[in-house]
């Protein structure tokens, strides 16, 4: 049997009002605060992050404070030496949100921007940057995280329900066990 499924996993569920600024949702902010260690952390989709002062930040939208304002793949490609302590990975959660984000900064949206490869490509780039023992904290509408194929083991999952017709926010915490 796959050892990924045998590893202990902490799972919890909380309720909180939804917010476009994911990291301002109280149970999500608490999860990040528990796992954010000293060292070099990347936030490729930082938006209005309350953790911006603790990370190297990037946001495509120059209206938000960030160290860089470029496409996340270009930002992540800067850090491919497996020497980063962790990544906060909070991309747009759907093709519609990707399209809205790109159009919001005057960028043309191409077909490849709204496929599942958008997420996989950026996760692979981020995974290359994280050193063994480092963490990936992922946020979205699924629990895929960075995954075993990128050398990660899932150690914690938080589901944040928002009530009504809102999708839950699913948060995963993974530790990098090996370089791929």
How does pLDDT run across 117-165, given as a tens digit for each residue? 889 999 999 999 999 999 999 999 999 999 999 999 999 999 999 999 9
User: For the chain, what is the mean pLDDT?
Assistant: 92
Give the pLDDT score at 118: 86
Is 46 within 8 Å of 64 (Cβ atoms)?
A: yes
Give the pLDDT score at 74: 95
Q: How confident is the model at residue 3 (pLDDT cuts 50, 70, 90)?
A: low
Give the pLDDT score at 99: 87
86 vs 101 pLDDT, higher one: 86
Quick one: CA torsion of 29, 30, 31, 32, rounded to 10 degrees? 50
> Does the 3-176 domain belong in CATH 3.40.50.150?
yes
Is 18 within 8 Å of 166 (Cβ atoms)?
A: yes
Instruction: Give the range among 28-32, 46-50, 79-83 with minimum mean pLDDT.
Output: 79-83
Give the pLDDT score at 6: 60
Instruction: List the one residue out of 172, 178, 153, 158 whose CA is nearest residue 5.
Output: 153
How far apart are the C-alpha atoms of 131 and 48, rounded to whole Å?
26
Give the pLDDT score at 108: 83
Global pTM value: 0.93
CA distance from start to end of the chain: 21
How far apart are the C-alpha atoms of 152 and 145, rounded to whole Å?
9
Is 169 within 8 Å of 160 (Cβ atoms)?
A: yes
Q: How confident is the model at residue 1 (pLDDT cuts 50, 70, 90)?
A: very low
Structure token pair of residue 63: 């209206």
Q: Which residues contact 135 (CB under 8 A, 6 or more apart)?
A: 35, 37, 85, 86, 87, 173, 174, 175, 176
Long-range contacts of 115-119 (CB under 8 A, 24+ apart): 118/91, 119/91, 119/144
Q: Which residues contact 114 (CB under 8 A, 6 or more apart)?
A: 95, 98, 99
Q: How confident is the model at residue 5 (pLDDT cuts 50, 70, 90)?
A: low
Residue 31 has pLDDT above 90, yes or no: yes
């Amino acid at each position: 049997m796959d050892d990924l499924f045998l590893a202990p996993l902490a799972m919890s569920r909380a309720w909180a009002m939804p917010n476009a600024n994911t990291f301002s949702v109280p149970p999500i902010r608490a999860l990040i605060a528990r796992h954010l260690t000293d060292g070099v952390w990347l936030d490729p989709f930082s938006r209005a992050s309350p953790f911006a002062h603790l990370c190297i930040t990037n946001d495509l939208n120059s209206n938000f404070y960030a160290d860089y304002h470029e496409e996340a793949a270009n930002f992540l490609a800067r850090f491919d030496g497996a020497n980063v302590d962790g990544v906060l990975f909070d991309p747009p959660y759907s093709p519609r949100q990707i399209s809205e984000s790109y159009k919001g900064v005057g960028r043309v949206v191409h077909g490849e921007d709204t496929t599942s490869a958008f997420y996989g490509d950026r996760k692979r780039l981020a995974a290359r940057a994280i050193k063994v023992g480092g963490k990936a904290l992922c946020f979205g509408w699924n629990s895929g995280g960075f995954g075993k194929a990128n050398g990660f083991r899932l150690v914690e999952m938080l589901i944040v329900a928002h009530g009504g017709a809102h999708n839950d926010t699913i948060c995963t915490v993974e530790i990098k066990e090996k370089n791929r």
